[in-house]
Structure 1
Amino acid sequence: MTAVRYELRDGIAWLTIDRPEARNSLNREVRAGLFEGARRFAADDDARVLVLTGSGTKAFCAGGDLAEMSAEGLTIPPPDYVPQFGRNIQVDKPTIAAVNGAAFAGGFLLAQSCDLCVAATTATFAISEVRVGRGAPWAAPLAQMIPRRIAMELLLTGRPLTAERAYDIGFVNRLAEPDQLLAAAGELAAQIAGNAPLSVLAGKRTAGLTAELPLSAAFDEAEQLWAPVYTSGDAQEGMRAFVEKRSPVWRGQ
């Protein structure tokens, strides 16, 4: 897929929407490329973390390709229209959105679907569907990620948030100057990739438990998630490496 590039470097998979002339909008080729890239990452044992970004400086992803959608008379998008990590495609390993510009509509969806978000100081975020009469059912989890009234404002007005505002409300983890964005995202990804992989996978799953379970049930589920981590060879290796004052060698088992 020429509109989406997948590159693996030092355990980090870089998935880049490469359609800057159309603000990296989600036409058929981009959507297929994103699904393909996500599946490739999930199946790639050498890839520990995924960074999703867009080409150019103007847009991370401006959302759906309205010209294509209009030509096709699109009404309700099918469940697999755009990849939503953890909803319509299983991605157990960590994902980071590196937002280099406008993340509108489906672009906001992609940033929301990633586990973490690093944004350029010039980035903007908007749920802009209300301005063109479209829908955003994918925004259902948003009120668990940011204050409910801010989520409501985003959905009802379609007005963009600045990167700084998105950082202040907790939607963005880190800010970077535009020319340092990929370096900042790579640094965060490398920190994760250098950790014990079983602990990372269990940590990601643990963070989402209370979104679906009562707290007491979430504790019980978390104990089950972490039991095989405690009993793994990596757990013993981590302690030995600490005692021996060396870097651990993780085997993921």
Structure 2
Amino acid sequence: MAYEHIRVDREGHVTIITLNRPDVMNALHSPAHFEMHEVLDAFAADPDQWVGIITGAGDRAFSAGNDLKHQATGGEMRTPPTGFAGLTSRFDLNKPLIAAVNGVAMGGGFEIALACDIIVASEAAVFALPEPRVGLAALAGGLHRLPRAIGVKRAMGMILTGRRVSAAEGEALGFV
């Protein structure tokens, strides 16, 4: 099936899912969330697909998270029952997902990565939950997943300040 905002490639038993909105740093809006929901449903149902990789198109961003410009111009902001990117509230997937982070993973983009089983990052990757800087909170699972991955004290330093973390520091902290 062809999608407008998501690219799906299959290489043997591996499904490669690419967030394909590089013009907006792969930020997601309602249509992209629902496409991801469909893609992940198809991946889960296909017995010939054993592993999934989620990445972002282009070399600037894995995902900048929520498409705030789309929302600010009155665009609808709904997510499927499986959560942000059709993933963050999906708790029944019994196949491994790898986040291949190739640039910025901010807000919901970082939450997508945290919802995966493994995060692999390029040296250019940068991670953050910047929501507190604009009076918001990372409510797509980041507030729960990050402390479980790196411990409460270290996670709170990132969560409360919105501090950016490089791939090298992410590896040292234990989430990469």
1:92 equivalent in structure 2: 94
In the alignment, structure 1 residue 134 sits paired with structure 2 residue 136: yes
2:156 is paired with a residue of what secondary structure? helix
Instruction: Rate the CA distance shift 1:121–1:35 in 2: closer, same or farther, 3 A.
Output: same
For each residue in 1:138-191, what CA deviation from the matched residue of structure 2 results, as whole angstroms up to 9, or x when unmatched? 22132111022121011111111000000111101xxxxxxxxxxxxxxxxxxx
Structure whose residues are more often strand by fraction: 2
Letter paired with 2:18: T
1:189 equivalent in structure 2: none
1:101 equivalent in structure 2: 103
For each residue in 1:97-130, what CA deviation from the matched residue of structure 2 results, as whole angstroms up to 9, or x when unmatched? 0000000000001000000011001100000111
In the alignment, structure 1 residue 159 sits paired with structure 2 residue 163: yes
> Shift in Å at residue 88 of structure 1?
3.4
Moved over 6 A (4+): 73-78
CA RMSD in angstroms comes to 2.1
Letter paired with 2:148: Q
2:114 equivalent in structure 1: 112
**Inter-partner Cα distance in structure 2 for 1:148 and 1:6:** 35
1:2 equivalent in structure 2: 4
In the alignment, structure 1 residue 171 sits paired with structure 2 residue 175: yes
Under a length normalisation based on structure 2, what TM-score does the superposition of the two structures give? 0.89
> Shift in Å at residue 23 of structure 1?
0.2
Give the conservation status (yes or no) of the 8 Å contact 1:84–1:110: no
Give the conservation status (yes or no) of the 8 Å contact 2:8–2:16: yes
**Inter-partner Cα distance in structure 2 for 1:116 and 1:136:** 20
**Inter-partner Cα distance in structure 1 for 2:54 and 2:8:** 10
2:149 equivalent in structure 1: 145
Instruction: Rate the CA distance shift 1:100–1:50 in 2: closer, same or farther, 3 A.
Output: same
Structure whose residues are more often helix by fraction: 1
Aligned length: 172
Give the conservation status (yes or no) of the 8 Å contact 2:100–2:121: yes
Instruction: Rate the CA distance shift 1:75–1:28 in 2: closer, same or farther, 3 A.
Output: closer
> Shift in Å at residue 10 of structure 1?
1.2
Structure 1 unmatched ranges of 5 or more: 173-253
Instruction: Rate the CA distance shift 1:76–1:152 in 2: closer, same or farther, 3 A.
Output: farther
> Shift in Å at residue 134 of structure 1?
1.9
2:55 equivalent in structure 1: 53
1:140 is paired with a residue of what secondary structure? helix
Give the conservation status (yes or no) of the 8 Å contact 2:88–2:112: no
Letter paired with 1:167: E
